[in-house]
Amino acid sequence: MVRKLKYHEKKLLKKVDFINWEVDNNVREVKVLRKFHLDRREDYTTYNKLSRSIRELTLKIKDLAEKDSFRVQSTAKLLERLYAMGLIPTKQGLQLCDAVSASSFCRRRLPTIMVTLRMAQNLKTAITFIEQGHVRVGAEVVTDPAFLVTRNMEDFITWVDSSKIKKHVMEYNEERDDFDLGV
Residues 115-147: pLDDT tens digits? 999 999 999 999 999 999 999 999 999 999 999
pTM to 2 decimal places: 0.79
Within the chain, all domains assigned CATH 3.10.290.10 are found at 109-181
Q: Which CATH number does 109-181 carry?
A: 3.10.290.10
Tell me the three-class secondary structure of the chain, residue by residue.
CCCCCCHHHHHHHHHCCCCCCCCCCCHHHHHHHHHCCCCCHHHHHHHHHHHHHHHHHHHHHHHCCCCCHHHHHHHHHHHHHHHHHCCCCCCCCHHHHHHCCHHHHHCCEHHHHHHHCCCCCCHHHHHHHHHCCCEEECCEECCCCCCECCCCHHHHEEECCCCHHHHHHHHHCCCCCHHHHCC
pLDDT digits (tens, 9 = 90+) for 31-76: 999 999 998 899 999 999 999 999 999 999 999 999 999 999 999 9
